[in-house]
Chain A
C-alpha cells in the first residue's frame, strides 16, 4: 500500500479526461462477479413471485416487494463498498470485532424472538439480524488479526488465538440459538486461517478435536443426561442420515424437499408444481428456496442457478489470487469460504445430502439481513479487485 503511494508520483496516463464509465470505476470491477450476484437476486425475486402469492392473504407480493427492495439496497451498498479501499477495514479491525460481538450480544437483551430463538432486532421497517452482517464483519476483523499477529507468538499460539477470536462470536450466535450461522462463523474462521497459512498439522488437530466434540455433543452428552443441543437441533443434524425412517419434523422437511426437486425432472413442472406451492415443503421462501427452483424449472433451472454460484465462487477465488496485499487475500479467501460453505450446505440440505441447519442460500433465500450482507461481502470482493487493478495501472483509488 505504501509502495503504491510512492508510484503515484508518476504521470497519470488515464486521468486527463476520464469517461463516465471510468469515473464510475466500471472498468476496474469484476463484471462476471457482479453479473452472477445480480442474476441470482433477480432469480430469487422471480421465484418468490411465483410461489408466495398466497402466503400473506391480501398482499400477494409481500415477500416479492421486500426482497426486491433488499436486493436494490444491497446492490447500492455493494457499489459503495466497491469504491472504498478495503484496506481501511484492517485498521478498524478491533472496532469491527467489538461491534460484531456487541451487536450479537445485544440481541439477547433487545432482540425479537422468532420461532423460539432470539436473533434479530425489530426495526420500524424490518427486523435486522446482526449475525448475518456479522459474517462479513468477522471476515474483515479476523483477516486483520491474522495479518497483525503474523509475527508474534509461536505457530501454536497463533492458531489458538485465531480459533478463539473466531469461535467467540460463533458461540454467541450458537446461544441465540442459531446453529446454522454459528457453523458459518466456524467455516469463515477456518477459511481465513487456511489462507493465512496455518500449518496442516494444526488443521489435523482441529479436525480431530471437532470429531471428538461432535461425538460428545451428539452421543456422549445425551447418554449421560446433559444434552447440549436442543432436541430439534440434534434431530435435524442426524436425521438426514436416514430421513425416510424419521417420522418427525426434520425428516419430513428433507423428504418433501427431495420429492419437490426430484419431481421437477428435466424441465420442471412450472405452474403445475404442487410440492412447493401447496405448503408441503416448509420454509420454501427461505431455507428451501432451492427446492422451489428445482420443482418449477427442473434440472435446467437448478443447474443454471448452481452454475451461477460456481461462477460467483470462481470469481471470488480468482480475486484471492489477484489481491494487491495480504489483507485482501485473506478477506477474499474468507468470503469465498463463507459463500462456498453456505451454498454447499444449503443446496446439499435441499438435495438431502446435508443436515438441516437453517443456513440461508446466499442472495436467494428471502431475508433482508442475509441479502444485504451478502451483497456487501461481494462489494468488498469488488473493492479488492478494483484496488488490484488500479495498483496495476499505477493509480490509487482515492
Chain B
C-alpha cells in the first residue's frame, strides 16, 4: 500500500496524484454536463419552456387529514371521526350574471332552509377569510338533498357535495369538559406561531385536550393537483399528484372511562352544580374529572341553532364551565388538612396537644361556633379531624393569624396558584393573606384590613378562600405521597397512526415539600377515623365500605347560597394510591351530597377488587 499514516505531505505518491487528478477530471466532466444542460434548457429551449410556464394550468386542492383519535387509558375510544357530506359553494363557478347568481342562491337558500340574506352573509364572511375557496354551507346533508342536486345539476352550477371529517363521540357527554371540541380557526389564531402553516377554514381544537394537544391531533393535509383546461375545468385523467394526507396522531388520556362515567353519573343523580376529580397521588395522572351540568360535545359539529346557543352560552348554569378546575369556592372543613400540616410543621401545634373545644371561640369580639353548635370537649388533632371540631382549627388559625404560616404551607401545597394542568381555562384562584387583604383595603376594595378573624375563617376553609377540587386534590395528594406536589395531567401518550408510541407525558412534579412522616400518619389517621370510625363525620357513608379510606367532609358557607357540600378522600388507607374530590353547590353537609358521590367513584375504581372480595365472601358463606 502506498499510503502510510506517518507519512506527511507534500510527498504525495504518484498513484495518489493520479487518483486525485482523475477525481478532478470527473468533477470537471460532471460540472460540464450541468452547465451544458443548463445552457440547453435556458438559452436554447428557453422560449419553449417560457410558453409552457405561461400556459401552466394546474390547480391544487388540499385534502383534509382526519384528526387523531382520543382514547382513555385502557384504549377505549372517546373521540373518533366520521365522514359527513358537506354542501359547498364554489364561488368561481357561480353564474357571472348577477340576476342568475341571485336566482341560484335563492334556490339554494330554500333547499337548505335558510334565508337568502343569511346565506349571502355566510358566504361573504367566509370569502373574506379565504378568497375563492369553496364555502361550506352545511354539513351532514341528507341523501335526498344530494340526489336532488345531482338530478338538477344544471340549475346549481358551482354547488358541490364534499365528504368531510367530523368528530364523533361514541359515549355522548362522557368527559365532555376534558375533551373540548374542534372548530374553524379564527383570523387571530391564524397569526399565532403554534398554528403556522394552517389556512383559513382549517379546523383546530377549541377547548380541552383538543386544544392543548392540537399539535399532535391535527394531522397534515394532503394535496391533490388537478390539470385544468383554459376554463378552469379539470381535464379528463388530469389528476396529477396525490400527496396523501397524514392523519393526526392519537392521544391517550389518563382518564379511566369507568371512573369517569361513575363520577358523572353520581353528579347527575344529585343534579347539583359542581365538579369532581380523581387523581393518582403519585403521578398526578387524572383518572376522572367532570363538572355538572355537562353538554354534548357533538353539538359543535354542526352550526348551532339560536336555541342551542341560548342553552349553551347564555345558560345561567354555564354548562361549558368546568367546575372541577375552574370553580372558585370556599372549601369548608376539607381545608383542615392543610391547616393541620401548617400548624404542625410551623410548631404552632404539638402532635399530642389537647385543645379544649367548648363549642365556641371568641376572637376580637366575634363568636366562631362549631357546626351544629356541638361541643366536643378536649380533643387532640386526630380526634379533631375525626369529629371535625371547628373550634380546634379556629384556635390554630388564631395562633397563626399574623405569622403567615398557614398561607405559606397552603401556598406550598398549591392552593391559590396555577397547577400546570394540561387543560386550558384555569381560573384565578385566591388564597387570602394578610398582604392581599391589606393591599385591597388600601385601594378601597374592602372595609377593613386583615384581622385574626380572617385567618380563623381560612383555617376552616371559609371566608375569602376561592379554590377548586383540583387544587384541593393536589394538596391531599401531597400529604398522601409524603410531600410531592404533583403536576396534574390528563394527557398520557401520543401514538402515531400505526400505533407506535411517539411521546409519553410524565410532567415533573411542581415541587417537593418536607412533611414529617409522623405528622402525615397522624393526619391520615384522623381522616381515616372521620370516614370509618364510629363517631366520624362521614361514617354513615363509608363506615361499611370494604376498603379502608381516609376522608374529610366539608360544608362551605357561601353568601347568597345554601351550604356547599365537599368531600375529599384518599384510598386505600394507610398508603393511598388515589385522591378523589367532589363538590356540590348547595348540597348541604359534606356527608349528605358529596361523600356518597365520592363513594360511587371509589366503587368504580376498586370495582375489580370489590368484586373479588364479594365472591370470596360468597364462597365462604
- Give A contacts to B, CB under 8 Å: 1-4, 56-59, 62, 112-113, 115-116, 147-148, 150-151, 194-197, 247-249, 252-253, 256, 258-266, 269, 274-275, 279-280, 282, 294-295, 298-299, 302-303, 306, 309-310, 313-314, 317, 320-329, 333, 336-337, 340, 344, 347-348, 351-353, 388, 391
Known: A58-B196, A59-B193. A262 touches B9 (CB 8 A): no
- A316 to B179 CA separation, bound complex (whole angstroms): 57
B221 to nearest A CB, angstroms? 12
* 5 A–B pairs (Cβ distance < 8 Å), ordered by A: A247-B240, A262-B53, A280-B58, A310-B27, A336-B27
Q: Are B53 and A306 in contact (CB under 8 A)?
A: no
Residue B141, interface by CB 8 Å: no
Q: How many A-B residue pairs have CB under 8 A?
A: 185
B612 to nearest A CB, angstroms? 38
- A127 to B27 CA separation, bound complex (whole angstroms): 33
- A269 to B496 CA separation, bound complex (whole angstroms): 43
Q: Are A325 and B8 in contact (CB under 8 A)?
A: yes
Set of chain B residues within 8 Å of A249, measured between Cβ atoms: 240-243
Q: Are B34 and A265 in contact (CB under 8 A)?
A: no
Q: Are A262 and B42 in contact (CB under 8 A)?
A: yes
- A313 to B496 CA separation, bound complex (whole angstroms): 42
Set of chain B residues within 8 Å of A327, measured between Cβ atoms: 5
Residue B50, interface by CB 8 Å: yes
Set of chain A residues within 8 Å of B31, measured between Cβ atoms: 306, 309-310, 313, 344
CB-CB contacts of B357-385 with A at 8 A, as 1s and 0s? 00000000000000000000000000000
Interface of A is mostly: helix
Q: Are A262 and B56 in contact (CB under 8 A)?
A: no
Q: Are B197 and A56 in contact (CB under 8 A)?
A: yes
5 further A-B contacts with Cβ under 8 Å, apart from A57-B191, A320-B20, A326-B7, are A4-B8, A262-B50, A320-B23, A337-B23, A348-B33
Set of chain A residues within 8 Å of B16, measured between Cβ atoms: 195, 197, 329
Of A247, A258, A303, A340, which contacts B237 at CB under 8 A? A247
- Give B contacts to A, CB under 8 Å: 1-10, 12, 15-17, 19-20, 23-24, 26-27, 30-31, 33-35, 37-39, 41-43, 45-50, 52-54, 56, 58, 60, 190-191, 193, 196-199, 225, 237, 240-243, 246, 496, 502
B393 to nearest A CB, angstroms? 46
Q: Are B240 and A303 in contact (CB under 8 A)?
A: no
- A4 to B198 CA separation, bound complex (whole angstroms): 59
- A147 to B191 CA separation, bound complex (whole angstroms): 55
Of A265, A279, A325, which contacts B46 at CB under 8 A? A265
Q: Are A197 and B33 in contact (CB under 8 A)?
A: no
A121 to nearest B CB, angstroms? 12
Q: Are B38 and A303 in contact (CB under 8 A)?
A: yes
3 shortest interchain CB distances as A-B pairs: A262-B49, A265-B46, A263-B53
Of A147, A280, A351, which contacts B34 at CB under 8 A? A351
Set of chain B residues within 8 Å of A265, measured between Cβ atoms: 42-43, 46-47, 50
Q: Are B42 and A264 in contact (CB under 8 A)?
A: yes
Set of chain A residues within 8 Å of B196, measured between Cβ atoms: 56-59, 62
- A4 to B20 CA separation, bound complex (whole angstroms): 25
Closest-by-CB residue of B relative to A332 is: B20
- A280 to B228 CA separation, bound complex (whole angstroms): 13
- A267 to B46 CA separation, bound complex (whole angstroms): 11
Q: Are B8 and A391 in contact (CB under 8 A)?
A: yes
Set of chain B residues within 8 Å of A302, measured between Cβ atoms: 38, 42
Q: Are A197 and B42 in contact (CB under 8 A)?
A: no
Set of chain A residues within 8 Å of B9, measured between Cβ atoms: 321-325, 328-329, 388
Closest-by-CB residue of A relative to B22 is: A194
Set of chain A residues within 8 Å of B1, measured between Cβ atoms: 150-151, 197
Of B47, B49, B193, B502, which contacts A258 at CB under 8 A? B49
Q: Are A259 and B53 in contact (CB under 8 A)?
A: yes
Set of chain A residues within 8 Å of B50, measured between Cβ atoms: 262-263, 265, 269
